[in-house]
Amino acid sequence: MPSSPPNASIIRICRDAEQDRGRPQITEGDLQKLIDARRLRVKFFDQSLFADPAWDILLDLYRAHLAQQRICVTSVCFGAGVPVSTALRWLNALEERGLARRSHDPLDGRRYFVSLTEAGVSSMDAYFAAAVQSFPQIA
């Protein structure tokens, strides 16, 4: 009998835990603190040691989701802390995997907004639910 992928089990456990609690696993404020702490590292270490643009983009998009804010492509690229071309490549990769999507700004045809897809939100919810369950001191 084939086993479920590990992510499926984690997501199922986390969804059950989230339904029991009926609240988000992490607040927008807590997530902003995590993002700020990640950015603080470059004051003490060479930035090239910590290049993880996909994760930085996911964190930024999840924070925007929790805050019910729209975020434009330019802001996402800036927040990733890497050259624009690199951030765009990673944003494309997240879109290809169904985790993020771009949409036109109806008021400015030159601008695009970026958001997490439903799958992206579910994955981030599941990740933070698992993190809080594994490390309750971060809640």
pLDDT digits (tens, 9 = 90+) for 8-20: 544 554 555 555 4
Look at residue 9 in the predicted model and tell me its pLDDT: 47
- Residue 108 reports pLDDT greater than 50: yes
Domain that holds residue 51: 6-138
111, part of any domain = yes
Strand order, beta sheet including 108-116? 71-72, 108-116, 100-105
Q: What is the mean pLDDT of residues 38-58?
A: 86
Q: Is the pTM of this model over 0.85?
A: no
pLDDT confidence of residue 132: 79
CATH of the domain at 65: 1.10.10.10
93 secondary structure, DSSP code: H
Residue 1 lies in a domain: no
Decide if 52 is inside a domain: yes
| Tally of domains within the chain | 1
- Rounded distance, CA 30 to CA 8, Å? 26
Residue 3 has pLDDT above 50, yes or no: no
Determine, yes or no, domain membership for 22: yes
Confidence of residue 36 (pLDDT cuts 50, 70, 90): confident
Could you identify the residue written with the tokens 């990740």? Answer: 127
Q: What DSSP state is assigned to residue 117?
A: -
Q: What is the mean pLDDT of residues 115-119?
A: 97
Distance separating alpha carbons of residues 54 and 94, to the nearest angstrom: 7
CB 102 within 8 A of CB 77: no
First to last CA, the chain: 37
